């Protein structure tokens, strides 16, 4: 009887551990890239999708580097502000941050428009919309799973 009871407990324990195998792998398994590597990967993708020439590649590379540096500075500033105050952002601060980000996006958009040809710019805008829609879908899925 004892052996049967121990075998049953062992079976239940093993079955309990087996339940976690069907979950998605976490983001920790993804390779962590430096900002330079991310910029280079994005440049390669844009080059292939938009057929950029050498001059455009150089300009887009500089734009990506500038954008990356600004984003890192903003992230560090927000992190420092959050450590200092230890409170959540107020509605006004969130609105100011949103306005700042919209201004950055508009400025980058204008710079890309000056670099790209009309048909390339149209295709780039379409790619941006697809990327935005994909992110919205991921966020929606993430919220549903919580």
Q: Which residues of the chain fall short of a pLDDT of 70?
A: 5, 9-10, 12-13, 15-30
The predicted structure's pLDDT at residue 23? 54
The predicted structure's pLDDT at residue 133? 93
The predicted structure's pLDDT at residue 86? 72
Residue position matching structure tokens 């890192």: 72
Q: What angle do CA 70, 110, 76 make, to 5 degrees?
A: 10
Please tell me the pTM assigned to this model: 0.68
Largest Cα–Cα distance of the chain, in whole Å? Answer: 81
The predicted structure's pLDDT at residue 134? 94
Q: How far is CA 7 from the centre of its chain?
A: 47
Report the C-alpha gap between 120 and 105 in whole angstroms. 18
User: What torsion do the CA atoms of 100, 44, 51, 120 make, to the nearest 10 degrees?
Assistant: -10
The predicted structure's pLDDT at residue 107? 92
The predicted structure's pLDDT at residue 81? 75
Q: Which among 112, 120, 111 is positioned nearest to 51, based on CA atoms?
A: 120
The predicted structure's pLDDT at residue 35? 86
Work out the burial of residue 116: count CB atoms within 10 Å of its CB; fewer than 13 is exposed, 13-18 middle, 19 or more buried: buried
């Amino acid at each position: 009887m004892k052996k049967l009871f121990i075998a049953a407990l062992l079976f239940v324990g093993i079955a309990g551990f087996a339940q976690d195998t069907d979950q998605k792998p976490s983001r920790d398994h993804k390779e962590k890239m430096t900002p330079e590597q991310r910029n280079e990967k994005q440049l390669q993708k844009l080059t292939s999708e938009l057929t950029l020439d050498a001059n455009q590649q150089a300009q887009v590379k500089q734009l990506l580097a500038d954008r990356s540096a600004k984003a890192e500075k903003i992230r560090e500033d927000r992190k420092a502000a959050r450590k200092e105050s230890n409170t959540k952002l107020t509605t006004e601060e969130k609105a100011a941050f949103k306005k700042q980000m919209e201004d950055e996006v508009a400025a980058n958009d204008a710079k890309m428009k000056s670099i790209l040809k009309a048909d390339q710019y149209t295709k780039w805008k379409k790619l941006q919309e697809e990327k935005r829609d994909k992110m919205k879908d991921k966020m929606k899925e993430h919220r549903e799973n919580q």
